Structure 1
Amino acid sequence: MHNHLRTFTLLAALTALFVGVGYLIGGAGGMLIALVLAGGMNLFSYWNSDKIVLKMHGAQPVDETHAEPMVRNFVRDVFDLADGAGMPRPKVYLMATDQPNAFATGRNPENAAVAATAGLLRLLDRREVRGVMAHELAHVKNRDTLTMTVTATIAGAISALANFALFFGGNDRERPGGLIGTLALMILAPMAAGLVQMAISRGREYEADRGGAEICGDPQALADALQKIERYARGTVNLAAERNPATGQMFIINPLAGRGADNLFSTHPATANRVAALMKMAGSMAAPVARAARAVGTAVPVTRRSDPGPWG
């Protein structure tokens, strides 16, 4: 309950910031327009966020009839995890991207989708892929997918509005703050929006790690997967994510890491901290690896793989 209240407060702060930017640009009329726009954007995001994000990243639907055994097992494991968690089965998508990564989207568990990249399936063993998808299902179960989409929508709109502020009358001395106020707005508003977005997303990632570990019963698998993904993601540019950076918060690992530079306002916690939390959790769970091995069958290796080859 505390986490939901905190998220609601931060979302309210983002909306208030958006409305405030509208006031600074256009006075009372601008504030009213911004308020209407905020409501419209949230409504549009509620109904269309999943379709938009999946299209942005070129995600294609896959099912248990796919030609590749690796993909068939991937779909079956998503369904198995969802069934075990008592959740509706989400739609499953595959992105033809070399960078190992994954995300979830959808306005609620009944209309959810999970997507993984081809690079993720090639890099991880089956236990680790199950850990990643359990993390994404935890996002769905916690209804984070809608929250993060709305957050990204408002934060992106604040940045765009602030960048256009100068064109809306930066030299108008009758506007609040005048030119200096406009310049401050252009710098500070995106920073404030980024900080709020970061606060929402980081907290949600820790919660999804914990929930995902419970869903798959194997914190170690998710911890191993996070370390592998981060290491390989840093050497691979995700072009779709670079074109749509506002969606970066939705991925399990920052998809913009391939450029080799850390974002000051990263929406993801440090992987080392996430791994430490998962390992602490693993120590308190009884035989997590044995349960995970039984879930995927005896043919699945239960030790960490050193090679990034495909699994089947």
Structure 2
Amino acid sequence: MGLMRTGVLLAAMTALFMGAGYLVGGRGGVMIALLLAAGMNLFAWWGSAGMVLRLYKAREVDARSAPEFHDLVAGLARNAGLPMPRLYVIDTDQPNAFATGRSPENAALAATTGLLRRLSREEIAGVMAHELAHVRHRDTLIMTVTATIAGAIGMIANMAMFSSLFGGFGGNRENNNPLGGLGALLVMLLAPMAATIVQLAISRTREFEADRLGAEICGHPRWLASALTRIHEGAEHSSFAAAERNPATAHLFIHAPLAARGSVGSLFATHPSTEERVARLMAMEEGGGTVDGGRFRQPHRETARPGARSGSVPSAGGEAPRRGPWG
């Protein structure tokens, strides 16, 4: 159902994009918009992951520089049936994390120092499992496409403004805006807002799906629920300057990294409410045919590390790692 809903929302975004182009410049406007979008998509496909990591000055870590972090993610990746992603750390006090990369083979996971310091090993396992779920669902690619289309619609809105001021793309009314100044005004005012709402709806849909699969990967929904609560509390009491400078990347994080602004923030929120996410995870933990003997059943047992116990923190070494927060 989540995948179907995402497909419908992507189709709505594409239809909005094509309609806006037509209203601004007729068939000529559609072609110009398509060329712009194609160029933006090519750039996003090949360079988006590296660009985001550079924006946040993320430093890569490995088994030597961060052995516990590396071993934890390695075990989770095996549970998820995924190749080992590259790992990065971002120096900021706010607890948060994101995944990026155009495919599982090119994936990268980034965690903040605040998350690694404040959360327990079990909670970090829940967060990293959530990010691996995004990788397995190829959400990073989906969100890159939607962000690109939204950006292209923003360009069309700017074209609408110039079209209304200077007479369109050419001067031939038959090939330009079929509704005249009214069409340009509608695109200029409504298209960016509609594109943003659809983009955020896709982002929120994918977060629920990543929570569900992430709980399956780590083997215990309660770990992720606890992590989301701790991250929410930490985000309320810490700022994230790099995220504030780059709000277009907010949807990548497991929790919105931006400060709340105004009473209409819920409409334009990049993520579902923490309360709703936690409630869904606890429902998985406590009922609905997903709990066996007090522990969450892993539906992908064939992909898990041989000998791993349901509900244990995945480890590269073959034994359940010790509990407790990380330094």
Length-normalised TM-score, structure 1: 0.87
2:287 is aligned with 1:281: no
Structure with greater Cα Rg: 2
Equivalent of 2:109, from 90, 110, 114?
A: 114
Higher relative contact order (CA 8 A, sep 6+): 2
Q: By how many angstroms is 1:212 displaced?
A: 0.5
Other-structure match for 2:62: 63
Tell which deviates more after alignment, 168-177 or 276-285: 168-177
How has the CA–CA distance of structure 1 residues 294 and 242 changed in structure 2, closer, same or farther, with 3 Å as cutoff?
closer
- Greater CA deviation, 102-111 or 26-35? 26-35
Instruction: Work out the CA distance in 2 between the residues paired with 1:72 and 1:298.
Output: 12
How far 1:298 moved relative to its partner? 5.8
Deviations 1:39-88 (A, max 9, x none): 3322332222211221222212111111xxxx431122111110122211
Aligned to 2:165: 170
2:2 maps to 3
Identify if the C-alpha distance between structure 1 residues 298 and 114 changes in structure 2 by more than 3 Å, giving closer, same or farther: closer
| AA matched with 2:206 | R
Given that 1:170 and 1:179 are in contact with CA atoms closer than 8 Å, whether structure 2 keeps it comes out as no
Structure 1 stretches of 4+ with a deviation exceeding 6 A read none
Partner of 1:264: 267
> 1:52-201 counterparts in 2 under 5 A?
52-66=51-65, 71-163=66-158, 165-170=160-165, 172=167, 174=173, 175-201=177-203
> By how many angstroms is 1:12 displaced?
2.7
Cα pair distance change 1:259/1:76, threshold 3 Å: farther
Deviation at 1:90, TM superposition (A): 0.5
Residues 96-144 of structure 1, C-alpha deviations (whole Å, 9 max, x = no match): 1222111111111111111111111122111101100000001111111
Residue 235 of structure 1 deviates from its aligned partner by 2.6
Task: Kindly report which structure 2 residues correspond to 1:167-246, keeping only aligned pairs within 5 A, or say none.
Answer: 167-170=162-165, 172=167, 174=173, 175-246=177-248
- Work out whether residues 97 and 118 of structure 1, in 8 Å CA contact, stay in contact via their aligned partners in 2: yes
Unpaired runs of 5+ residues, structure 2, are: 297-308
- What's 2:17 paired with? 18
Give the conservation status (yes or no) of the 8 Å contact 2:24–2:159.
no
Report the CA distance between 1:27 and its aligned residue. 2.9
CA distance in 2: counterparts of 1:294 and 1:100, whole angstroms: 20
Structure with greater helix percent: 1
Which amino acid letter does the alignment assign opposite residue 92 of structure 1?
A: L
- Which residue in the other structure is 2:33 paired with? 34
Determine what percentage of the aligned residue pairs are the same residue. 55
The one-letter amino acid paired with 1:87 is L
Cα distance in 2, alignment partners of residues 279 and 86 from structure 1:
25
Contact 1:170 1:178 in 2 (8 A): no
Q: What count of residue pairs does the alignment treat as equivalent?
A: 299
**Contact conserved, 1:171 with 1:179, CA < 8 A, in 2?**
no
Question: Is 2:56–2:90's contact at 8 Å kept on the other side of the alignment?
Answer: yes
Do the aligned residues in 1 keep the contact of 2:37 with 2:148 (CA within 8 Å)?
Answer: no
